[in-house]
Amino acid sequence: ILCILYIVNYFVPSTLTYKMVFGAFYISCFTFTSYVNWKLNEERYNVFLNALEAKIQHNEATERGKALLRLSRTDPLTGLENRRAIDEKLRDYWSEWQKVGTSFGAILIDVDFFKKFNDCYGHQEGDRCLIHVANALSDMIKQYNGSIGRYGGEEFIVLARMEKKEQILDIAEAICSTVENLALTHELRRDGVSIVTVSVGAAFTRTQTGAKLEKIIHEADRALYLAKAGGRNCARLFDPTDPQSSDESENIAALLKIAIGQNLVSLVYQPIQDVKSDRVEAVEALMRLKMLDGTSVPPSLFIPVAERTGAILELGRWAIRTVCAELLADDHVRVVSVNVSPIQLKTPGFATSVATILGETGVAGSRLAFEITEGLEMEMH
């Protein structure tokens, strides 16, 4: 109807008044038609608008969910993946290795003497240090197609697929060089180095037989310990043939927990003679350990394990008490020397503990000497 009215109005000759009336009628028809069309489709429009609003809300909720997921998987300080995300990725790597044999390596990284760095420069500078290290390592790891995350505190972790174990050692050494090249000042190390460095422990998937997911991290942690014990600012690859890394060391660790209670630990005394007078001036107490079947365990094996696990603290107290109670009570021996680990010396209350033992046994402190072992650095932790 509107179309016909328009054609007639446009092509049929007429007066101005006629055209105005016709135009008004046209507009009225258009308005009425629009109103009728709206009323007939109002419900459809409402459904469309509601669907559009629901779609917008769904998209917003999805984006918020993705943002929350990213936050739950991201370390807020460094922006790296956090431990939760890395553990999930580790399970993926592990599953792939078990199913199709794609080997991978795990690398644990610890910032050397970071507690001293915090004590010297403050926690804000400590945070900046971690951010610098994280950014540098993140850029470096990209060329190896690996994943890096913050594993907690000043510790980072790297996962990377590779075919040979030599490749993971190359990455580990590159990590040390990358952090060293940052040249971040650290003046309170007391080891002759004045910049921030890292110690790195690496492990490589070897055989699926009896393998467990946690084992590769455990092996990397052992290698990290050896890197620290070896002077820091270096990388170590887990070696199952190394006595300090082998499963035997874990058996020794378990044995040390029951050694005192089961009388598996003992002391032997080595005389210290004056070469001029040939007189025994003192004796040195040496700790010995045996297995449950009576087999002797060399000190070169169990002492490092005791230091690594902290068992050296209880063993050390036992040794001092035993020496004071059994040998120094005898006036025939002037001085007894006892080996003491740097870990013991750093333990709060060590001096008080020794004083208590001397007081209880009635032994003069001048008759007890300490010889500091050289197995670990003074600043191991």
Catalytic residue numbers, as ranges: 154
Q: Rounded CA gap, 222 and 241, in Å?
A: 13
Q: Which amino acid is at 178?
A: T
Q: Using alpha carbons only, how large is the chain's radius of gyration in Å? A: 38
Q: Rounded CA gap, 22 and 1, in Å?
A: 12
Q: Rounded CA gap, 243 and 92, in Å?
A: 31
Residue 50: how many other CB atoms lie within 10 Å: 10
Among positive and negative, which fits the CA dihedral 135, 136, 137, 143? positive
Token pair for residue 362?
């009635």
Q: Which amino acid is at 164?
A: K
Cα maximum dimension of the chain? 148
Token pair for residue 211?
């393998």
Q: Rounded CA gap, 293 and 288, in Å?
A: 15
